[in-house]
């Protein structure tokens, strides 16, 4: 949520920051702004997406700049509310990601001496720094952050200093180093084309950046020695390549991301499987799509490993803390590893002595570092707001873990490697065209219903998320058996109903439930290994056994993408949503 970048070095900082913001746009795209330093601080702010801005080359050159792409929380989408925000004298510029919870009290106090220009919570920060600037830049920043409450990342520039200062408290910040050039950003792809050498800031840490880097612990003021890490992502992985949008590129990357995810070390999988077998109570937690993966995991563990694992959506997890002991295990699933609701659930659990296992895609993320063991999803950067390749990779790892917990790791690996190769075969232009034809038929629908049973019930809910966020068509996923308990009332002539069929014991029942909708006039789309008379449109999927949620999700992702294109929606930037949700 919101992207931050800063640069100091001998290249043109203005261009580097504009370019970095374009790469961070998936974190927020309401408005953007930069502050560059050429003696004094100059601001450039615009409403809308930075990718639509073509004037980067004409902007004034500088050796130091900061930038921000916004996902609005406090204050509407206006130029005034876009970042950077400045002090009264215009010498302090701040970009911020997160929320300042006590900004109202601070603003009231500051308003007697300071003139505010925006409605944002952020603007209190430059004014707080200005209050104490006579103590020196570093001290003034420290004093300011000692007054603010909340989860955030802040980057500050001062017209009278050659340093940038950044603070992390709950929202990500990573430093990039390329000899004398220094970068700081909310996410690595912002500077990946310049360097792979990074240092991660932890919570309650501050970094002072000029030709050197100085890290401090904000709790006791001590200096910290940071480890330099070389990351193994490739800059081209974070680009669209030959594809028109990131989301279709990422859908196609599933040709090899599933196999990569399954390629975990046996020793580690077995170790965690043993922990699950020993634990008194295991909780899955995650949000949105990752939450649906957890629910698929619930079914898989029950079916394959005979184990009941509880799922609680992360924002509700704190309500379950009364059941936690030091024998409980938490399995947290998150692409970004930065989702605030997930991190809060983890904090609550850790306070009760719960062991944290995670599935995470972003190396060095807060979740990875807060975990006792983290499985890396290894899908490479996922830039489109809607999760696709990471979802199937997460389902694959959870399935593998369930098999390992049942003492059948080899069988699980074999199943998933077969599934990976089946997905590889599915992702061909002919298959895409067949799904596209369906998108043309149903693109003007107001509602789409998706039915599933067993493993495919949570998948139906995930399918609904994908269709809604990409095409803005209202979609809802139901357990097939629930239709007759209410949702059938919604079915009219030609209502599109997608039925997700797996080749398992639920096969016949889901067909009966689908028949109930067909009898009320629904237009039935079957996603199934076998055709059936009741389908008006059949999308064939391979028989993947217990991995059927993976193969069934592929046509849904392609359908959601083509619905978005046909309806004129931008499939990379879902309206009102952000990739990394770092606010509660
Ligand atoms: C939907 C989607 C979101 C995320 C959710 C959690 O396509 O991507 O629902 O799954 O915001 O994000 P992470 O996985 O980063 O914790």
Residue 324 alpha carbon to ligand 1 centre in Å = 25
Where in the sequence is the domain holding 71, given as residue range(s)?
3-237
Which residue, 237, 259, 284, sits at the end of a domain?
Answer: 237
Element (H, E) at 195: none
Dig out the tokens for 246 from the structure: 């990131």
Question: 462 and 401: one domain?
Answer: no
Question: 205 and 305: one domain?
Answer: no
- Ligand 1 nearest-atom number relative to CA 336: 15
Three-state DSSP class for 264? coil
User: What is the predicted pLDDT for the residue at 56?
Assistant: 58
Question: 551 and 462: one domain?
Answer: yes
* Among 84, 7, 104, 102, residue whose Cα is nearest residue 43: 84
Question: 146 and 44: one domain?
Answer: yes
Question: 90 and 177: one domain?
Answer: yes
Residue 290 alpha carbon to ligand 1 centre in Å = 6
User: What is the predicted pLDDT for the residue at 105?
Assistant: 96
Residue 288 alpha carbon to ligand 1 centre in Å = 5
DSSP result, 439-450: HHHHTT-SEEEE
Residue 292 alpha carbon to ligand 1 centre in Å = 10
Three-state DSSP class for 88? coil
Does the CA dihedral 568-572-573-574 come out positive or negative?
Answer: positive
Question: 345 and 455: one domain?
Answer: no
Provide the CATH number for the domain around residue 188. Answer: 3.60.20.10
Q: Which residues of 513-525 are buried (b: 16+ CB within 10 A; e: fewer)?
A: bbbbbbebebbbb
Q: Which of 172, 289, 582 to mutate to test the pocket of ligand 1 (most atoms within 8 A of CB)?
A: 289
From first to last of the 584 residues of the chain, give the pLDDT tens digit. 789 999 999 999 999 999 999 988 888 888 999 999 998 999 999 998 887 777 656 678 899 999 999 888 888 889 999 999 999 999 999 999 988 999 999 999 999 999 999 999 999 999 999 999 999 999 999 999 999 998 899 999 999 999 999 999 988 899 999 999 999 999 888 999 999 999 999 889 999 999 889 999 999 999 999 989 888 777 777 788 889 999 999 999 999 899 999 999 999 999 999 999 999 999 999 999 999 999 999 999 999 999 999 999 999 999 999 989 999 999 999 999 999 999 999 999 999 999 999 999 998 888 999 999 999 999 998 999 999 999 999 999 999 999 999 999 999 999 999 999 999 999 998 999 999 999 999 999 999 999 999 999 999 999 999 999 999 999 999 999 999 999 999 999 999 999 999 988 889 999 999 999 999 999 999 999 999 999 999 999 999 999 999 999 999 999 999 999 999 999 998 888 877 777 77
Question: 313 and 269: one domain?
Answer: yes
Sheet order of strands, 229-230 included: 40-47, 31-38, 64-70, 3-8, 181-185, 174-178, 197-200, 229-230
Q: Are 449 and 476 in contact (CB under 8 A)?
A: yes
User: What is the predicted pLDDT for the residue at 57?
Assistant: 61
Q: Which of 187, 553, 581 to mutate to test the pocket of ligand 1 (most atoms within 8 A of CB)?
A: 581
User: What is the predicted pLDDT for the residue at 576?
Assistant: 82
Instruction: Count the neighbouring beta carbons within 10 Å of the beta carbon of residue 442.
Output: 21
Which residue, 218, 237, 256, sits at the end of a domain?
Answer: 237
Question: 440 and 577: one domain?
Answer: yes
Question: 274 and 410: one domain?
Answer: yes
Catalytic residue among 22, 389, 413, 579: 579
Instruction: Identify the residues whose C-beta falls under 6 Å from ligand 1.
Output: 287-290, 334-336, 339, 342, 386-387, 465, 469, 581
Question: 422 and 437: one domain?
Answer: no
- Characterize the bridge pairing of strands 355-360 and 373-376: parallel
User: What is the predicted pLDDT for the residue at 21?
Assistant: 94
Q: Give start and end residues of each alpha helix (H) in 427-498.
A: 429-442, 456-471
DSSP result, 131-178: HTGGG-HHHHHHHHHHH--EEEEEEEEETT-S-EEEEEEBS--EEEEE
Residue given tokens 């004094």 in the structure block: 40
Name 48's bridge partners: none
Which residue, 375, 406, 426, sits at the end of a domain?
Answer: 426
The answer to whether 294 is a known catalytic residue is no
User: What is the predicted pLDDT for the residue at 202?
Assistant: 87
- Domain count within the chain: 3
- Characterize the bridge pairing of strands 474-479 and 447-452: parallel
The answer to whether 327 is a known catalytic residue is no
Question: 394 and 469: one domain?
Answer: no
By alpha-carbon position, which residue is closest to atom 7 of ligand 1?
386
Q: Which of 286, 287, 553, 556 to mutate to test the pocket of ligand 1 (most atoms within 8 A of CB)?
A: 287
Catalytic residue among 2, 287, 569, 574: 2
Residue 387 alpha carbon to ligand 1 centre in Å = 6
Can you tell me the distance from the alpha carbon of 349 to that of 330, in angstroms, rounded to the nearest whole number?
8
Name 178's bridge partners: 181
Phi, psi torsion values for 467, nearest 5 degrees: -65, -45
Q: CA–CA distance from 540 to each of 2, 473, 479 (Å)?
A: 40, 23, 21
Question: 513 and 474: one domain?
Answer: yes
Residue 505 alpha carbon to ligand 1 centre in Å = 30
By alpha-carbon position, which residue is closest to atom 10 of ligand 1?
289
By alpha-carbon position, which residue is closest to atom 6 of ligand 1?
287
Provide the CATH number for the domain around residue 346. Answer: 3.40.50.10490
């Amino acid at each position: 949520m919101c992207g931050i970048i800063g640069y100091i070095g001998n290249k043109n900082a203005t261009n580097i920051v504009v370019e970095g913001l374009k790469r961070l746009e998936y974190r927020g795209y309401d408005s953007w702004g930069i502050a560059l330093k050429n003696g004094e601080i100059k601001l450039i702010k615009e409403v809308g997406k930075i990718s639509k801005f073509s004037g980067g080359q004409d902007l004034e050159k500088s050796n130091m700049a900061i930038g921000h792409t916004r996902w609005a929380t406090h204050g509407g989408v206006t130029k005034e509310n876009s970042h950077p925000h400045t002090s009264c004298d215009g010498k302090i510029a701040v970009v911020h990601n997160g929320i300042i919870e006590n900004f109202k009290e601070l603003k009231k106090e500051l308003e007697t001496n300071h003139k505010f220009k925006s409605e944002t919570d952020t603007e209190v920060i430059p004014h707080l720094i200005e209050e104490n600037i006579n103590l020196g830049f570093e001290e003034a920043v420290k004093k300011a952050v000692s007054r603010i409450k909340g989860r955030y990342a802040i980057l500050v520039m001062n017209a009278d200093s050659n340093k940038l200062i950044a603070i992390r408290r709950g929202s990500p910040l990573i430093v990039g180093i390329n000899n004398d050039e220094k970068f700081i950003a909310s996410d690595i792809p912002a500077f990946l084309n310049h360097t792979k050498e990074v240092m991660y800031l932890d919570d309650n840490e501050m970094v002072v950046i000029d030709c050197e880097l100085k890290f401090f612990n904000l709790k006791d003021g001590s200096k910290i020695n940071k480890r330099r890490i070389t990351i193994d992502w490739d800059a081209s992985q974070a680009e669209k390549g030959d594809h028109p949008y990131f989301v279709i590129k990422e859908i196609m990357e599933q040709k090899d991301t599933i196999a990569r995810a399954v390629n975990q070390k046996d020793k580690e999988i077995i170790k965690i499987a043993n922990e699950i077998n020993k634990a008194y109570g295991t909780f899955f937690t995650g949000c949105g799509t990752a939450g649906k993966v957890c629910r698929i995991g619930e079914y898989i563990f029950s079916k394959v490993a005979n184990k009941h694992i509880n799922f609680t959506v992360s924002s509700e997890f704190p309500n379950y803390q009364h059941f936690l002991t030091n024998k409980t295990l938490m399995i947290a699933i998150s692409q970004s590893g930065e989702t605030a609701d997930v991190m809060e659930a983890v904090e609550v659990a850790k306070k009760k002595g719960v062991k944290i296992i995670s599935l995470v895609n972003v190396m060095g993320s807060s979740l990875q570092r807060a975990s006792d063991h983290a499985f890396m999803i290894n899908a490479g950067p996922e830039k489109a707001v809607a999760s696709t390749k990471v979802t199937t990779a997460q389902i694959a790892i959870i399935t593998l873990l369930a098999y390992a917990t049942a003492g059948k790791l080899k069988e699980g690996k074999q199943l998933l490697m077969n599934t990976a190769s089946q997905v590889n075969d599915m992702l061909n232009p002919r298959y895409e065209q067949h799904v596209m034809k369906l998108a043309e038929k149903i693109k003007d629908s107001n509602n789409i219903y998706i039915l599933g049973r067993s493993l495919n019930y949570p998948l139906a809910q995930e399918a609904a998320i994908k269709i809604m966020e990409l095409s803005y068509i209202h979609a809802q996923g139901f357990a097939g058996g629930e239709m007759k308990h209410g949702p059938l009332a919604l079915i009219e002539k030609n209502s599109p109903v997608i039925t997700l069929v797996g080749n398992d014991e639920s096969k016949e029942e889901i067909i009966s439930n689908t028949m109930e909708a067909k009898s009320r006039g629904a237009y039935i789309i079957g996603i199934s290994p076998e055709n059936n008379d009741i389908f008006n449109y059949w999308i064939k999927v391979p028989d993947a056994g217990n991995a059927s949620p993976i193969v069934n999700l592929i046509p849904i992702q392609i359908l959601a993408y083509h619905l978005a294109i046909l309806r004129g929606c931008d499939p990379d930037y879902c309206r009102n949503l952000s990739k990394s949700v770092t606010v509660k």
